[in-house]
């Protein structure tokens, strides 16, 4: 009985270790792909029109700043509606994307 339990424990450990390694590789590849897409979008928009790229970056910054303000301020009674909910969701997605890139793309040797 002791040998079977030990073998099962070793098998479970190996399955967990391999699963974590595969998940790490998949997340790193997704982060590199996301970073590459962001760089490609920036390059294509800059090559099309630098003025529109800067104007779009300014508008996106204002949009995300409004979302940050809506997310981090003291909530009012009731729910967020309309533009406030949209900007808060966009800010949350931008923060999540930045966190994924910070954690997984920093070790990416694709650049």
HEC sequence for 53-73: HHHHHHHHHHHHHHHHHHHHC
**Which residues, including other chains, have CB under 8 Å from residue 74's CB and lie 6 or more apart?**
none
More confident residue, 52 or 73: 52
pTM above 0.75, yes or no: no
pLDDT of residue 55: 93
- pLDDT over threshold 90, residue 30: no
Residue ranges per structural domain of the chain: 2-104
- pLDDT over threshold 60, residue 111: no
Residue-wise pLDDT tens digits, 53-100: 999 999 999 999 999 998 888 777 766 678 888 898 999 999 998 888
């Amino acid at each position: 009985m002791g040998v079977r339990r030990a073998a099962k424990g070793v098998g479970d450990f190996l399955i967990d270790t391999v699963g974590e390694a595969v998940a790490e590789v998949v997340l790193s590849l997704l982060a590199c792909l996301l970073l590459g897409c962001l760089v490609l979008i920036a390059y294509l928009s800059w090559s099309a029109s630098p003025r529109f790229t800067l104007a779009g970056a300014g508008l996106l910054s204002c949009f995300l700043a409004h979302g940050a303000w809506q997310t981090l301020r003291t909530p009012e009674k009731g729910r967020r509606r309309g533009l406030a909910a949209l900007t808060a969701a966009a800010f949350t997605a931008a923060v999540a994307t930045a966190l994924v890139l910070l954690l997984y793309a920093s070790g990416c040797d694709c650049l």
